[in-house]
Amino acid sequence: MADTVLKCNGRTHESRTAGSDLSLKRIAGLALDRLWMYLTFYSIIPFAGYSDMRYSMYLFLSVSLCALAATMAIVALGVRHGEALGSNKPLVAGGALLMSGGLVLVLATGAFIRGDSAIVAVCAAGIATGIGSAVLLLSWLEVLSTAGFSCMLSEMALGCGAALLGSLILLFFPTALANAIILICPFASAFLLQHCLREIDGIPTDGADAPRSGKTTVLFIKGLVGAFSFGALAGFYDAFAGFRTFDVDIGYGVFLLAAGTVAMLAIALISVFCKEDSLSHAYRLAMLVICFGCLLTLFMADSNTHSGGVVFAGYETFNILVAICAQQASQSFNIPPARTFGVALATLYFGEMAGVFSIYLYGDTILKLGLATITVIAMMWLLFSHLYLFTEIDLINLELGEQAAPIRPSEAPNSESEDTTSEGARTPASPTPVGNEQVCQEIVERYGLSNRETDVLELLLQGRTIARIQEALFISAGTVSTHVRHIYQKTGSANKQDLLDMVEQIRVEIEQESAGK
Q: What pLDDT is recorded for position 97?
A: 97
Q: What is the pLDDT averaged over residues 465-481?
A: 78
Q: Which stretches within 201-336 are classed as H helix?
A: 214-244, 250-273, 278-296, 305-333
Angle, CA of 468, 474 and 476, to the nearest 5° = 80
Alpha-carbon Rg for the chain, nearest whole angstrom, is 26
pLDDT (tens digit, 9 = 90+) per residue, 422-443? Answer: 444 444 445 556 677 788 888 8
**Mean of the per-residue pLDDT values for the chain?**
81
**Regarding predicted confidence, which is higher, 208 or 256?**
256
> For the segment 342-356, what is each residue's pLDDT rounded down to a tens digit?
999 999 999 999 998
* pLDDT value for 167: 95
226 against 213, higher pLDDT: 226
- Please give the helix or strand (H or E) that residue 131 lies within, else none: helix 116-145
d(CA 515, CA 204): 38
Give the pLDDT mean for 75-83. Answer: 81
pLDDT computed for residue 443 by the predictor:
85
DSSP state string for 338-367 = HHHHHHHHHHHHHHHHHHHHHHHHHHHHHH
Task: Say how far apart CA 346 and CA 339 lie, in whole Å.
Answer: 10
CB atoms within 10 A of CB 268: 21
Among 305, 318, 316, residue whose Cα is nearest residue 261? 316
- The pLDDT assigned to 214 comes to 76
Residue 458 makes CB contacts below 8 A (sequence gap 6+) with 436, 437, 440
pLDDT for res 6: 33
Q: What is the pLDDT of residue 212?
A: 67
Cα separation, 435 vs 330, in Å, equals 31
* Run of H or E residues at 8: strand 2-8
In the chain, where are the structural domains located?
A: 24-400, 433-516
pLDDT the model gives residue 410: 42
CA distances from 330 to 210, 304, 335, 337 (A): 10, 38, 5, 5
According to the CATH classification, is domain 433-516 in 1.10.10.10?
yes
pLDDT: which is higher, 105 or 81: 105
Is there a contact between 275 and 349 (Cβ–Cβ < 8 Å)?
A: no
Q: How far apart are CA 372 and CA 351, in angstroms?
A: 23
State the first-to-last Cα distance of the chain, in angstroms, to the nearest integer. 39
Confidence at 266, pLDDT banded by 50, 70, 90 = very high
Query: 68: part of which helix (H) or strand (E)?
Result: helix 53-78
Nearest in space to 194 (alpha carbons), one of 268, 288, 102, 87:
87
Q: What angle do CA 473, 475, 480 make, to 5 degrees?
A: 90
* Tens of pLDDT, residues 121-146: 999 999 999 999 999 999 999 999 98
Stretch 205-216: mean pLDDT? 63
CA nearest to 100, candidates 12, 37, 148: 37
Banded pLDDT at 246 (limits 50, 70, 90): very low
Q: Is the pLDDT of residue 306 over 80?
A: no
**What residues form DSSP beta bridges with 419?**
427
- Among residues of the chain, what percentage have pLDDT more than 70? 82
- Residues 6 or more apart whose CB falls under 8 angstroms from that of 500 comprise 404, 407
Cα 476 to Cα 509: distance, rounded to the nearest angstrom: 35
Spatial CB neighbours of 91, under 8 Å, sequence gap ≥ 6: 85, 135
DSSP symbol at 430: P
Q: At 419, which helix (H) or strand (E)?
A: strand 419-420
Measured distance CA(254)–CA(39) in Å, rounded: 11
In sequence order, the 6+-apart residues with CB closer than 8 A to the CB of 208 are: 81, 334
Average pLDDT over residues 500-515: 80
- Asked whether residue 90 carries a pLDDT value surpassing 80, the answer given is yes
Characterize the bridge pairing of strands 419-420 and 2-8: unpaired
In the Cβ-directed half-sphere of 318, how many Cα atoms lie within 13 Å?
Answer: 36
Average pLDDT for 66-88: 87
For residues 55 and 58, what is the distance between their CA atoms, to the nearest angstrom? 5
pLDDT at 301: 55
Tally of residues, the chain: 517
In which band, very low, low, confident or very high, does the pLDDT at 205 lie, cut at 50, 70 and 90?
A: low
Name the pLDDT band for 409 (thresholds 50, 70, 90): very low
341: pLDDT strictly greater than 70: yes
Bridge partners, 17 (sequence order): 2
> Given pLDDT bands bounded at 50, 70 and 90, which one contains residue 411?
very low
The CATH class given to the 24-400 domain equals: mainly alpha
Q: How many CA atoms lie within 13 A of 421 on its CB side?
A: 5
- What number is the average pLDDT over the span 470-477? 80
Q: Report the pLDDT averaged over residues 507-515.
A: 78
Other Cβ atoms less than 10 A from the Cβ of 353: the count is 20
Q: What confidence category does residue 400 fall into, taking pLDDT thresholds of 50, 70 and 90? A: low
DSSP track, 101-116: HHHHHHHHHHHH--TH
- What is the pLDDT averaged over residues 195-220? 72
- Write the pLDDT tens digit of every residue in 155-194: 999 999 999 999 999 999 999 999 999 999 999 999 999 9
The pLDDT of residue 19:
40
Residue 451 exposed, middle or buried by CB count within 10 Å (0-12, 13-18, 19+):
exposed
Banded model confidence at residue 42, pLDDT cuts 50, 70, 90? confident
Whether 201 has a pLDDT exceeding 80, the answer reads no
The answer to whether residues 480 and 396 touch, using CB atoms and an 8 Å cutoff, is yes
Highest mean pLDDT among 215-224, 248-257, 462-471: 215-224
